[in-house]
Chain A
Amino acid sequence: MGEPDTPGAAATLQSENLSSGRRTLVLNMGPQHPSTHGVLRLLLELDGETIVRCQPDIGFLHTGIEKEFEVKFYQQAVTLTDRVDYLAPLSNNLGWALAVEKLLGLEIPPQAQWMRVMLVELTRLNSHLVWLGTHAIDIGAMSVFLYCFREREDILRIFEMFSGQRMMTSYIRIGGLALEPPRGWQERVKKFIDVFPSRVDEYEDLLTNNRIWLGRTRGVGKLSLEDMLDLGVTGPMLRAAGLKMDARKDAPYSSYEKFDFEVPVRTEGDVYARYQVRIEEMRQSARIVRQAMEGMPAGAWKADAPHVVLPDRDKMKTQMEALIYHFKIVTEGFRVPEGEVFQVVESPRGELGYYVVSDGTARPWRVHMRTPSFGNLQATARMVEGTILADLIASIGSTDFMLGDVDR
């Protein structure tokens, strides 16, 4: 079908003669370009430095995760969710766990719910720090990157303390958490959260009133709110254009209604507004982490559902039932009642929805991930048309998409 001039290219553009007598130039950007943040290929049709048309070519990171879900047990599939958006693995764990728990009708104990909130907010900080560092480096502010990665390292160490893994944690499981929270986690999180707000001040000192930063970001990458809604944009991009849409407030999950935090909104809808929104989100996330840490309820960290949650190790050595349940869950999984759910969580990038269809067996019939980056990237192409090439880099950075999240 079509005229594939490059193998696998679903995107094709041709140079055209303009009415001004000039001829446009087709420029290929990516998939190995440093500022496309992964393997994104953009075909750009340029008139001088102005972008006439932009056509993204995605799919380079397509790994068939949705297909793979169909042959995994529900609990095994947690590891797949880590690898969708590899900068926000815990947000994906949570979306998946909540969706399956909704199908199962499982009640999750308060400590597990609060711990989930705390870890997901740390994930948001982690993701926003990578975004800020790379976005700034794209525009030429090298040093911000080093500051951001200093704090990111602290967060990854906290994840490692909890789960033994820095990135692909798989720590949030169906029915609760993977492991008991480690001894001494409070001190570790407290140490981090005590200094973090001052670190955000440091980033702001470097950027917020920086004339070069303002020049590169203000008024750049604008798109009207109507267009954004039409194109499927969610998350900080939408909030920077004036719409207060946040699943944590609109449809609270995992006890978010018990936390006191603001959803930052700006109305300008440009790259600078998105920067301001995300910076403020970092401060708010830090607040949530502190509240979760200080108010962490005591009690169980996994649900009382022996047919779903693996039994404690010591019980397996003393109780026959525990051993049987362990054997059954590991070898044949657990059955999930027939039905379908669409569970939405607010990932660092926007609306993350897990659509899970169960046919009553131990493996999902179909899983679809409504990932925020997919919708956001679709709008980026429209956003940059008519602007100059240099602004494309700023627009891409402010979209904060993750190609694993786009291609799945």
Chain B
Amino acid sequence: MLPETLREQSLALAVEAFDGDAIVGGKFDRDELTLEIAAAKIASVCGFLKYDRKFARLSSATAVDRYPAEPRFEVVYHLHSVETGERVRLKCRIAGAEPSIDSVTSVWRGAEWYEREVFDLFGIQFRNHPYLRRIMLPEDWEGHPLRKDYPITGARI
């Protein structure tokens, strides 16, 4: 459901028109638009934004760990339209137990490394990812360092 505060944002309205169940929240803060998308809808919303709203670039994809809050993880996508210069942040909240979400590599091939990085450092699975393996850390590394319950010092190496 589109929050009242976003009724003036044409992009938010367009996503709402594309799929009424896609937006579950959002805000317009410090001149930056954030749309919270239902995790199951992320690939289709990204496809809509890329092909119908000209967001040709996925600037980055990353995650935020809200431990100990639940749903624990936020997967964050920064989209950029080179034609209009518009930017938007998409956010999906996913639960902490066996976190997984659909990959957007089918929309932007460049998402491959970003999602591998999130997988590596947060332990979030991306469904339908072509090559989901660790990218920064060695293959046999245990744990996911950017999780809040991973210690900053004293980790076993």
Contacts and interface: CB of A to CB of B under 8 A. Distances in A.
B49 to A, nearest CB: 14
Given A67-B145, A378-B110, 11 more contacts: A2-B133, A8-B140, A10-B133, A10-B139, A59-B134, A229-B57, A230-B108, A344-B87, A370-B59, A370-B78, A378-B113
Given A339-B30, A341-B30, A357-B64, A245 B136 contact: no
A283 interface: no
B154 interface: no
Contact of A370 (B60, B65, B139, B152): B60
Interface string B105-137: 000111011100000010000000000011111
What secondary structure prevails in chain A residues at the interface with B? mixed
B43 interface: no
Interface of B: 29-30, 32, 34, 56-60, 62, 64-65, 76, 78, 82, 85, 87, 89, 108-110, 112-114, 121, 133-140, 145-146, 150, 152
A62 B137 contact: yes
Contacts of B140: 4, 7-8
A68 interface: yes
A243 interface: yes
Contacts of A341: 30, 32
The residue in A1, A58, A342 that gathers the most chain B C-beta atoms within 10 A of its C-beta is A342
Nearest to A226: B56
Contacts of B58: 232
Contacts of A378: 110, 112-113
Interface size class of A (residues with CB under 8 A): 35 or more
B62 to A, nearest CB: 4
Contact of A355 (B29, B57, B62, B110): B62
Contacts of B136: 58-59, 62, 407
A71 interface: yes
A340 interface: yes
A1 B131 CA distance: 12
Nearest to A231: B110
B153 to A, nearest CB: 9
A74 interface: no
11 contacts: A2-B139, A230-B56, A232-B57, A232-B58, A340-B32, A340-B34, A340-B89, A342-B59, A353-B60, A357-B64, A378-B113
